[in-house]
A and B are shown apart, each in its own frame.
Chain A
Amino acid sequence: GAVVSQHPSWVICKSGTSVKIECRSLDFQATTMFWYRQFPKKSLMLMATSNEGSKATYEQGVEKDKFLINHASLTLSTLTVTSAHPEDSSFYICSARDQRQGVGSPLHFGNGTRLTVT
């Protein structure tokens, strides 16, 4: 089945620093990947849609200068949390769809990255 790999699985950083999270589709190509954020005991909130070769599409209320997304290739998207603050602490999950399975195939999720900003 389609596998999405996310790295790192957890990271602790100091306020003001930047953190990069990688999302890779291991056995398929994805022109589109999705980045979600999840607070404790809450559901997944879509942050942005990452598009290979073009700019990401951000959801309303998500700061594009704060959460930089780069979809460098058909198997890699990165999310960089810039100048992190404690309120950015959260669980970040990426997802992608295996295009070989067609437009109606389900999204597959990475294992997520737990970010803690001190």
Chain B
Amino acid sequence: EDKVVQSPLSLVVHEGDTVTLNCSYEVTNFRSLLWYKQEKKAPTFLFMLTSSGIEKKSGRLSSILDKKELFSILNITATQTGDSAVYLCAVESSQGAQKLVFGQGTRLTINP
């Protein structure tokens, strides 16, 4: 059974700090790993990773995938209060209907 585990489950830091969120996975026929940010409603897409060792970057956010060790990290530098959200990691298998299996999420709180 496909499985995604995120850590930590909850994290509270001060504005300006750098945070690293972790995601480990087990999936049959891995296709991709995705990171989403969820505030009050629907998750919004951040990154899709398919290849090992290639960092994806968007502003203060970056992510990288290690397909040998089966994990990914999401880094956020110079955090701002607007970064407070639940960050979800999901993996997609190339089998079947390409559905996503989500981790439990990391609830990130940035205090001013």
Q: Residues of A at under 8 Å CB distance from B?
A: 4, 6, 9, 32, 34, 36, 41-46, 49, 51, 57, 93, 95, 97, 103-104, 106-112
Contact = CB atoms under 8 A, between A and B. Distances in A.
A90 to B, nearest CB: 14
B16 interface: no
16 contacts: A6-B42, A36-B102, A42-B105, A43-B103, A43-B104, A43-B105, A46-B100, A57-B97, A97-B98, A104-B48, A106-B48, A107-B34, A107-B100, A109-B36, A111-B42, A112-B41
B101 interface: yes
Contacts of A45: 102
Contacts of A112: 41-42
B41 A104 contact: no
Given A42-B104, A43-B102, A104-B50, A93 B32 contact: no
Contacts of A108: 45
Q: Is the interface of A mostly helix, strand, loop or mixed?
A: strand
B57 interface: no
B98 A43 contact: no
A90 B43 CA distance: 16
Contacts of B60: none
Given A42-B104, A43-B105, A104-B48, A109 B97 contact: no
Contact of A49 (B43, B44, B99): B99
Nearest to A109: B42
A95 B104 CA distance: 18
B88 interface: yes
Given A42-B104, A43-B103, A49-B99, A104 B32 contact: yes
A34 B102 contact: no
Contacts of A44: 43, 88, 90, 100, 102
Contacts of A106: 34, 45, 48
Ranked nearest first, the 6 interchain pairs of A and B with the lowest CB-CB distance are: A109-B42, A111-B41, A43-B102, A44-B102, A49-B97, A111-B42
Contact of A43 (B41, B45, B50, B88): B88
Contacts of A32: 97-98
